[in-house]
């Protein structure tokens, strides 16, 4: 027991903290065991290729998305011609998204295109108001700013609904929150999230808010005049640190008569300073933001990116760089393999092109004319 506890404390991964003792490197195999999810092996990549008849996204091919829960069941449902929808989200804690934040959105965009499915994106402005001590107004403003970065990833408006918790929670959503809350004891959330007696009760009561979009009757169909959703499955795309929310959600789903959401989960994205876990969105020098100019990016990479190069030219020539720890190389392995393509990505995520009208259009409650085809 003691030993188990000590082992667990060697690495801490929850929605608010990612850290590991010693080298600072996360042991993903251990994490999969600890969390009880499954490894995403190559057979999934091949199956996705067969089912979608298109080359699987590089995040699948390169195992950036490396863990899952019941992904096979979603693929089975798809193969049988059944409907499902995607759910992902963003806690708007910074003015702009950085590269690490783009990973789940780029991947969701691919999934939406490959499987032709509807998508809901939750902006948890309430969460960040409570955790980051932002005002309600500031959190709502950041949610809209972040929506621009997200839209710039290229989502299909005819299949995508983005909402802010502050604007949207109420009605059927709130009814479901209360149902979820009634299934979860205080001891349970303490066990899953590590809350203490010093945490304010807003934090303790938040988890149902992130759980509810997993339930189809109250997500893509909320207030949209469709009641044909009860049996539909849902597929959540998340960074691994969000897993605790969905462990809780999967636990309560059957008791409420819903399917358990399936999940697909990604690696952590390293900071410029090195692979020590999650990048802090508040330290501008630890990350590359979508709003950074090409000049900023060049400066940050040159000045801050941890290099795997050797200490002298001779040694470097002789032994080469250690690509295991080299951050520029890591970033390229997440995103692309040459500088020309880096420039292409910068252009593709040209968020300046997203207007307030587009944000309104994506956030409007409306029927989605193109949901499944």
Footprint on this chain of ligand TRP (rule: CB under 6 A): 15, 87-91, 122, 124, 127, 210, 236, 238, 242
Cα–Cα distances in angstroms (integers) from residue 43 to residues 49, 61, 94, 191, 296, in the given order: 10, 11, 37, 34, 40
Closest CA to 372 of 84, 75, 154, 76: 84
Q: Which is nearer to ligand TRP, 56 or 91 (CB)?
A: 91
Q: Which is nearer to ligand TRP, 163 or 221 (CB)?
A: 163
Q: Which is nearer to ligand TRP, 122 or 164 (CB)?
A: 122
Q: H-helix or E-strand containing 8?
A: helix 2-10
Q: Which is nearer to ligand TRP, 91 or 270 (CB)?
A: 91
Least distance from ligand TRP to the Cβ atom of residue 341, Å: 26
Q: Record the tokens describing residue 293, joined without a space.
A: 């100019």
Least distance from ligand TRP to the Cβ atom of residue 206, Å: 9
Q: CA-CA distance, 124 to 206, in Å (whole number)?
A: 10
Least distance from ligand TRP to the Cβ atom of residue 328, Å: 26
Burial of 133 (0-12, 13-18, 19+ CB in 10 A): exposed
Q: Which is nearer to ligand TRP, 281 or 305 (CB)?
A: 281
Least distance from ligand TRP to the Cβ atom of residue 238, Å: 4
Least distance from ligand TRP to the Cβ atom of residue 231, Å: 21
Q: H-helix or E-strand containing 333?
A: helix 327-335
Least distance from ligand TRP to the Cβ atom of residue 87, Å: 6
- With beta carbons less than 8 A apart as the criterion, state whether 237 and 111 touch: yes
| Residues in Cβ contact with 324 at an 8 Å cutoff, skipping those fewer than 6 apart | 308
Write the DSSP assignment of 98-136 as a string of letters: BHHHHHHHHHHHHHHHHHT--EEEEE-HHHHHHHS---H
Q: Which is nearer to ligand TRP, 236 or 354 (CB)?
A: 236
Q: Which is nearer to ligand TRP, 52 or 88 (CB)?
A: 88
Q: How many other CB atoms sit within 10 Å of the CB of residue 25?
A: 16
- With beta carbons less than 8 A apart as the criterion, state whether 75 and 51 touch: yes
Least distance from ligand TRP to the Cβ atom of residue 210, Å: 5
Q: Which is nearer to ligand TRP, 97 or 359 (CB)?
A: 97
Least distance from ligand TRP to the Cβ atom of residue 25, Å: 22
Least distance from ligand TRP to the Cβ atom of residue 124, Å: 5
Q: How many helices (H) and strands (E) does the chain have?
A: 19, 9
Q: Which is nearer to ligand TRP, 139 or 276 (CB)?
A: 139
Q: Which is nearer to ligand TRP, 75 or 211 (CB)?
A: 211
Collapsing DSSP to helix, strand or coil, 294 comes out as: helix
Least distance from ligand TRP to the Cβ atom of residue 39, Å: 20
| Residue closest to ligand TRP, measured at CB | 89
Q: Which residues of 215-233 are buried (b: 16+ CB within 10 A; e: fewer)?
A: bbbbbbbbeeeeeebeebb
Whats the size of the chain, residue-wise?
Answer: 373
Find tokens 């949610």 and name the residue.
143
Q: CA-CA distance, 177 to 170, in Å (whole number)?
A: 9
Q: CA-CA distance, 125 to 122, in Å (whole number)?
A: 9
């Amino acid at each position: 027991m003691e030993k188990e506890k000590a082992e667990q404390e060697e690495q801490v991964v929850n929605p608010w903290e990612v850290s590991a003792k010693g080298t600072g490197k996360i042991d993903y195999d251990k994490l999969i065991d600890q969390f009880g999810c499954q490894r995403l092996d190559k057979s999934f990549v091949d199956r996705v290729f067969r089912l979608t008849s298109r080359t699987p996204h590089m995040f699948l091919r390169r195992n950036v998305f490396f863990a899952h829960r019941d992904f096979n069941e979603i693929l089975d449902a798809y193969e049988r011609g059944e409907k499902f929808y995607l759910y992902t989200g963003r806690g708007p804690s910074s003015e702009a998204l950085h590269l690490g934040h783009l990973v789940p959105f780029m991947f969701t965009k691919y999934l939406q295109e490959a499987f032709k499915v509807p998508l809901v994106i939750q902006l948890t402005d309430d969460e960040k108001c409570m955790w980051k001590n932002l005002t309600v107004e500031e959190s709502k403003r950041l949610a809209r700013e972040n929506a621009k970065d997200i839209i710039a990833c290229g989502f299909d408006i005819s299949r995508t609904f983005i909402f802010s918790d502050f604007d949207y929670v109420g009605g059927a959503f709130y009814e479901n929150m209360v149902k979820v809350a009634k299934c979860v004891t205080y001891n349970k959330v303490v066990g899953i999230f590590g809350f203490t007696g010093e945490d304010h009760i807003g934090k303790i009561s938040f988890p149902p808010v992130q759980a509810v979009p997993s339930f189809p009757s109250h997500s893509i169909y909320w207030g949209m005049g469709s009641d044909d959703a009860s049996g539909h499955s849902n597929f959540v795309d998340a960074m691994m640190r969000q897993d605790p929310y969905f462990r809780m959600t999967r636990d309560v789903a059957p008791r409420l008569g819903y399917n358990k959401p399936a999940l697909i989960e990604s690696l952590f994205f390293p900071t410029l300073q090195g692979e020590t876990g999650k990048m802090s969105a508040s330290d501008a020098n630890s990350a590359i933001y979508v709003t950074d100019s090409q000049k900023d990016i060049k400066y940050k990479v040159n000045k801050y990116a941890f290099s795997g190069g050797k200490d002298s030219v001779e040694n470097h020539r002789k032994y080469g760089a250690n690509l295991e720890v080299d951050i520029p190389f890591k970033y390229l392995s997440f995103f692309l393999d040459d500088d020309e393509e880096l420039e292409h990505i910068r252009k593709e995520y040209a968020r300046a092109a997203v207007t307030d009208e587009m944000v309104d259009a994506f956030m409007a409650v409306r029927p989605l004319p193109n949901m499944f085809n």
